[in-house]
Amino acid sequence: MDHRKKGNTRSPDPPPLPEVLREIEAVQSAVAGRATDYPTGWHIPPHAHSMHQLIYAVRGVMVVQAHVGRWVVPPTRAIWMQAGMTHEIRCVGEVHMRSLLVKPQVAATSLVGTQAVAVSPLLRELVRAAVDVRHPYEAASRDGRLMCLILDELRGLPVLPLHLQMPVDPRLVQISEALQEQLDDPSTVADWSRRLTIDAKTIQRAFVKETGLTFGQWRQQARLLRALELLAVGDKVIDVALALGYESPSAFTSMFRKHFGQTPSAFFAEG
């Protein structure tokens, strides 16, 4: 369960995962902040812990993978990771993670399941402040009031469309893996029907049943999430658009805006 690192970096290695997990399990407070910086390409292998976690980075982009799906998480966004959920994280670029750990008994009931959420400027600063809180703290103290305010902010987090539900049907797994390896592949459901000798309607019904999306919607979501990764490391919009099979940068930008409510430049400028 050791971390794996790709590429060259002069930054010191983060602490080993077993040490991190021991520290998390030793937390006695209802809410705690944690700060760790990770070099480019760092991989945190599959793990789980007994506390809920708001996985957030003030810098860099994370790809978070769990059996329920995959999320691409830029700054101003975060993942609410349910306690007990096994997950792994890949860092796209250098990542400065500033996460929250929350005891299940005090977590907001509105946060059900693992999901991507928006991080307001207020919550961002509260998370940064939580990292400096010494434990244990008195509930009536300044630190205690800070943590109570954090819990209030968590109750109002809006859910965001940064999730890609992964299918489990072996036939759909074959399709989804091929699409993720070549996201500019223009193959239609009819094309896959011929390749796999499966009725096209069967493929569509299976995609909707397992992912909540049609084949076309699933591929579009996969493309947009990959776009976030590429844009995060500095790729130009025109290069990303062509790499993902869009006819033009304007077509890609239009789809990006429709899905995320912002242009690519505005989306990352917030961070």
Counted residue by residue, the chain has a size of: 271
Q: pLDDT tens digit string along 176-202?
A: 999 988 888 889 999 999 999 999 999
pLDDT at 222 over 70: yes
CA 143/CA 260 separation, integer angstroms = 35
Q: Does the pLDDT of residue 271 top 50, yes or no?
A: no
227: which 2 tokens? 């776009």
What is the β-pairing status of strands 31-38 and 87-102? antiparallel
Q: Could you report the per-residue pLDDT of 40-61, keeping only the tens digit for each?
A: 889 999 999 999 999 999 888 8
Residue 208 has pLDDT above 90, yes or no: yes
Contact (Cβ atoms closer than 8 angstroms) between residue 54 and residue 102:
yes
- How much is the pLDDT for 114? 86
How many CB atoms within 10 Å of residue 122?
A: 11
Q: What does the pLDDT read at residue 6?
A: 46
pLDDT above 50 (res 7): no
Give the orientation angle of helix 215-232 with respect to helix 170-181, to 10 degrees.
Answer: 40
Average pLDDT over every residue of 155-172: 85
**Full-model pTM:** 0.76
Q: What is the per-residue pLDDT for 1?
A: 39
Residue 120: is its pLDDT beyond 90?
A: no
**Residue at 109: amino acid letter:** T
* pLDDT tier at 4, thresholds 50, 70, 90: very low
**Helix pair angle (249-260, 215-232), 10° resolution:** 100
Question: What CATH number labels 17-154?
Answer: 2.60.120.280
Across the range 145-169, mean pLDDT stands at 87
Domain residue limits, the chain: 17-154, 167-269
Q: Would you tell me the crossing angle of helices 189-196 and 170-181 to the nearest 10 degrees? A: 120
Nearest by Cα to 161 from 210, 115, 196: 115
Q: Which CATH superfamily is domain 167-269 in?
A: Homeodomain-like (1.10.10.60)
Q: How confident is the model at residue 113 (pLDDT cuts 50, 70, 90)?
A: confident
* CA–CA separation, 254 and 248 (whole Å): 10
pLDDT, position 210: 92
- Judged against a pLDDT cut of 50, whether residue 3 lies above it is answered with no
Report the pLDDT value the prediction gives residue 269, as an integer from 0 to 100. Answer: 67
DSSP string, the chain: ---B--S---SPPPPPHHHHHHHHHT--SSEEEEEEEE-TT-EEEEE--SSEEEEEEEEEEEEEEETTEEEEE-TTEEEEEPTT--EEEEEEEEEEEEEEEE-GGGS-TT--SSEEEE--HHHHHHHHHHHT--SS--TTSHHHHHHHHHHHHHTTPPB-S-EEPPP-SHHHHHHHHHHHH-TT----HHHHHHHHT--HHHHHHHHHHHHSS-HHHHHHHHHHHHHHHHHHTT--HHHHHHHTT-SSHHHHHHHHHHHHSS-HHHHHHT-
Given pLDDT bands bounded at 50, 70 and 90, which one contains residue 116?
A: confident
% pLDDT > 90, the chain: 49
Quote the pLDDT of residue 230. Answer: 87
